[in-house]
């Protein structure tokens, strides 16, 4: 029997997503490993966030199949799936009330100790429990949202550009927190269009362009910071890439790690 | 009762006020003259047609079934009216049909089942009409507010869904807020009645020569009925529409506003 952590966390087979006649994702074949931080990288409009939303079934694919730990997600109760696959959104979404009340939304029976534990894991002082969630700074609010998600004891965290609304200092702080959480055995799928952030965070990188997994050429250009802009849809993609996109090169590749690729920042 | 009869001449004279409205529209360049004249003519034709049918329906010799058939037609018209006023709300006609049918059944059972009014055509038609008519506004407000709340607060709703909350729970704070808004105006109307305005039924009774205190009792009972009917409608619309806006696997459908 092989190590269960070697089995992919998520598998996507020929996944397409069409919304109101617009193709958002087109024939995605992808495996996301069950360890570390996998970064979904790509220009705005490449379909990264939508791909993430397929993983906890906030969206359902028009075609293809998404599997979580080998099981098609549509066979898992969506409420159970979402507690096992936690998600932090692009903008902090504090609910009305105190931090404690926010945490209790996630887990109504949570004890003070459990709430303090998740706040510490998100690098927030437990004294924040009685603070009004609406009065937190952007960084604090996003940490509270992370703590709220952690309270459901998810097996994996989906992070949808969680630092895009934060100042640089808060951004780096949240990144370090995420790395710590991932090192402690909770894998993460992190969406960003920020190449430097991907290089700081990623154990694996998947580059998406125009709703498809990037071809090796597109990937090399993107990681080298040579992408000319645009999401790769329609005229953006280099000629001849259309057939290559769904051809199985979607296994997450090894990126430049932890600041090694600084010269590539574009 | 003759004192209350204004006749065709009286009706014709009352058109002077429509003339005033049209004149003001012309003076101020509002360009509402055609609309006003159309509304005036249409209202008269509709009311006259209703009046002539009512003569038959409320006649003591006419079977009560005709009065109930009239109520069924009113429920259907309410559904179509709600759809015309809020076409952006998915499924509003069917929801209105369900809501007004349920609220009419409950309210009319209280009114006639408990003998507050005798079950005769003369009572069934106007009471059902007032309840259903007053319900349309609240249904439209409630459904629009629910749609707007869920569209504008989509990130918060989805954050709750992502925590594993079922749609009923994830939508609750927003639906509750929308229902409060829809019900508040009816509550305010109920509070202001008699102080700020004299409602239609009471005014009609007094004009028709009824004792004002008797008229007040009738009006108060009707206000309470309307409040109950509106609350019933709003809650049914709240539950039904919200159910409509989420998929069975607890996803919020795409809405016109607030989508990203």
CATH number at residue A87: 3.40.50.300
Chain A residues closer than 8 Å to B162 by CB: 56, 58, 82, 86-87, 89, 149
Instruction: Looking at the structure, tell me whether residues B103 and B140 fall in a common domain.
Output: yes
Does residue B257 fall inside a structural domain? no
Instruction: Looking at the structure, tell me whether residues B28 and B134 fall in a common domain.
Output: no
Domain region containing A237? 4-92+156-174+185-256
Radius of gyration of chain B (CA): 22
- In this prediction, residue A261 has a pLDDT band, given cuts at 50, 70 and 90, of very low
Instruction: Looking at the structure, tell me whether residues B23 and B119 fall in a common domain.
Output: no
Q: Which residue has the higher pLDDT, A161 or A256?
A: A161
User: How many structural domains are present in chain B?
Assistant: 2
In degrees to the nearest 10, what's the CA dihedral of B217, B218, B223, B229? 130
pLDDT value, residue A247 = 36
- The ipTM is 0.85
Instruction: Judge whether residue A2 has pLDDT over 70.
Output: no
Q: How many residues does chain B have?
A: 260
Q: Residue A52: name the closest of A64, A63, A66 by CA.
A: A66
Instruction: Judge whether residue B60 has pLDDT over 50.
Output: yes
- In this prediction, residue A266 has a pLDDT band, given cuts at 50, 70 and 90, of very low
Does residue B211 fall inside a structural domain? yes
pLDDT value, residue B22 = 94
pLDDT value, residue B206 = 86
Does residue A58 fall inside a structural domain? yes
As a whole number, mean pLDDT of residues B136-151 equals 93
Give the residue ranges of DSSP H helices in chain B.
7-28, 33-57, 64-85, 92-108, 121-152, 154-162, 167-192, 200-207, 212-245
Inform me whether the C-beta atom of residue B155 falls under 8 Å from chain A C-beta atoms.
yes
Taking the CA atoms of A180, A183, A186 and A188 in sequence, report the sign of the dihedral they define: positive
Contact B251 A82 (CB under 8 A): no
What CATH number is attached to the domain comprising B174?
1.20.1640
Which of B117-155 are b and which e, b meaning 16 or more Cβ less than 10 Å from the residue's Cβ? beeebebbbbbbbbbbbbbbbbbbbbbbbbbbbbbebbe
CB contacts < 8 A, A to B, total: 53
Instruction: Looking at the structure, tell me whether residues B26 and B155 fall in a common domain.
Output: no
Find residues 104-133 of chain A whose CB sits inside 8 Å of chain B.
Answer: 105-106
- In this prediction, residue A166 has a pLDDT band, given cuts at 50, 70 and 90, of confident
Q: Confirm if A237 and A210 have CB atoms less than 8 A apart.
A: yes
Does residue A251 fall inside a structural domain? yes
- What strands lie across the sheet with A188-192, from one edge to the other? A85-88, A156-160, A188-192, A37-41, A204-209, A212-213
Does residue B259 fall inside a structural domain? no
Instruction: Looking at the structure, tell me whether residues B145 and B238 fall in a common domain.
Output: yes
**φ/ψ (deg, to 5) at B25:** -65, -45
Q: Which of B22, B40, B57 is the last residue of a domain?
A: B57
Does residue A130 fall inside a structural domain? no
User: How many structural domains are present in chain A?
Assistant: 1
Among A72-76, A239-243, B135-139, B196-200, the range with the most confident prediction by mean pLDDT is A72-76
Contact A20 B254 (CB under 8 A): yes
Instruction: Looking at the structure, tell me whether residues B135 and B227 fall in a common domain.
Output: yes
Contact A86 B173 (CB under 8 A): no
Q: Which of B57, B77, B92 is the last residue of a domain?
A: B57
Over residues A61-87, the pLDDT tens digits come to 999 999 999 999 999 999 999 999 999
**What gap in Å lies between CA A97 and CA A133, rounded to an integer?**
6
- In this prediction, residue B259 has a pLDDT band, given cuts at 50, 70 and 90, of very low
Average confidence score pLDDT of chain B = 89
Does residue B251 fall inside a structural domain? no
Q: Choose the weakest-confidence range: A206-210, B78-82, B134-138, B195-199.
A: B195-199
Instruction: Looking at the structure, tell me whether residues B226 and B160 fall in a common domain.
Output: yes
Instruction: Judge whether residue A233 has pLDDT over 90.
Output: no
Domain region containing B48? 1-57
Does residue B256 fall inside a structural domain? no
Inform me whether the C-beta atom of residue B159 falls under 8 Å from chain A C-beta atoms.
yes
**What gap in Å lies between CA A122 and CA B212, rounded to an integer?**
69
As a whole number, mean pLDDT of residues B207-235 equals 88
Q: Which of B57, B90, B105 is the last residue of a domain?
A: B57
3-class secondary-structure state, position A50: helix
In degrees to the nearest 10, what's the CA dihedral of B140, B141, B144, B150? -140
Average confidence score pLDDT of chain A = 86
Instruction: Judge whether residue B70 has pLDDT over 70.
Output: yes
Does residue B254 fall inside a structural domain? no
Instruction: Judge whether residue A238 has pLDDT over 70.
Output: no
As a whole number, mean pLDDT of residues A222-240 equals 60
As a whole number, mean pLDDT of residues B98-116 equals 90
- Beta-strand relationship, A204-209 and A212-213: antiparallel
Instruction: Looking at the structure, tell me whether residues B10 and B138 fall in a common domain.
Output: no
Inform me whether the C-beta atom of residue A58 falls under 8 Å from chain B C-beta atoms.
yes
Instruction: Looking at the structure, tell me whether residues B88 and B134 fall in a common domain.
Output: yes
Does residue A111 fall inside a structural domain? no
């Amino acid at each position: 029997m092989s190590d269960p952590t070697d089995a992919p966390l998520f598998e996507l087979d020929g996944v397409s997503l069409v919304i109101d006649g617009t193709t958002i994702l087109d024939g995605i074949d992808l495996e996301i490993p069950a360890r570390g931080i996998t970064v979904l990288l790509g220009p705005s409009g490449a379909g990264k966030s939508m791909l993430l939303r397929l993983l906890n079934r906030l969206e359902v694919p028009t075609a293809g199949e998404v599997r979580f730990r080998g099981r098609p997600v549509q066979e898992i109760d969506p409420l159970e799936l979402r507690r096992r696959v936690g998600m932090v959104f692009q903008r902090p979404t504090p609910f009305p009330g105190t931090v404690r009340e926010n945490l209790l939304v996630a887990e109504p029976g949570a004890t003070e100790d459990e709430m303090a534990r998740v706040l510490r894991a998100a690098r927030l002082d437990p004294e924040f429990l009685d603070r009004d969630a609406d009065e937190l700074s952007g960084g604090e609010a996003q940490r509270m949202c992370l703590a709220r998600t952690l309270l459901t004891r998810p097996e994996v965290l989906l992070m949808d550009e969680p630092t895009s609304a934060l100042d640089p200092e808060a951004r780096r702080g949240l990144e370090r927190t995420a790395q710590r959480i991932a090192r402690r055995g909770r894998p993460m799928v992190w969406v960003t269009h920020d190449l430097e952030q991907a290089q700081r965070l990623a154990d694996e990188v998947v580059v998406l362009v125009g709703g498809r997994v990037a071809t090796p050429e597109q990937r090399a250009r993107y990681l080298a910071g040579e992408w000319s802009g645009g999401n790769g849809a329609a005229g953006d993609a280099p000629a001849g890439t259309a057939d290559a996109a769904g051809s199985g090169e979607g296994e997450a590749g090894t990126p430049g790690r932890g600041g090694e690729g600084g010269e590539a920042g574009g | 009762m003759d004192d209350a009869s204004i006749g065709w001449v009286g009706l014709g004279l009352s058109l002077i006020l429509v003339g005033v409205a049209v004149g003001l529209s012309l003076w101020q360049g509002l360009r509402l003259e055609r609309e006003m004249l159309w509304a005036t003519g249409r209202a008269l034709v509709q009311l006259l047609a209703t009046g002539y049918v009512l003569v038959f329906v409320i006649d003591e010799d006419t079977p009560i079934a005709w009065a109930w058939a009239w109520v069924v037609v009113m429920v259907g018209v309410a559904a179509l009216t709600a759809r015309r006023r809020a076409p952006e709300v998915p499924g509003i006609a069917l929801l209105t049909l369900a809501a007004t049918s349920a609220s009419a059944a409950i309210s009319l059972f209280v009114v006639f089942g408990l003998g507050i009014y005798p079950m005769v055509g003369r009572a069934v038609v106007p009471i059902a009409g007032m309840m259903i008519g007053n319900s349309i506004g609240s249904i439209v407000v409630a459904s629009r507010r629910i749609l707007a709340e869920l569209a504008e607060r989509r990130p918060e709703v989805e954050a709750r869904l992502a925590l594993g909350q079922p749609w009923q729970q994830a939508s609750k704070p927003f639906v509750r807020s929308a229902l409060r808004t829809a019900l508040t105006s009816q509550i305010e109307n109920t509070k202001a009645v008699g102080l700020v305005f004299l409602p239609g039924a009471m005014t009609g009774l007094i004009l028709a020569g009824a004792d004002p205190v008797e008229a007040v009792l009738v009006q108060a009972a009707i206000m309470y009925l309307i409040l109950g009917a509106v609350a019933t409608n709003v809650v049914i619309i709240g539950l039904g529409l919200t159910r409509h806006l989420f998929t069975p696997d607890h996803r919020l459908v795409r809405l016109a506003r607030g989508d990203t």
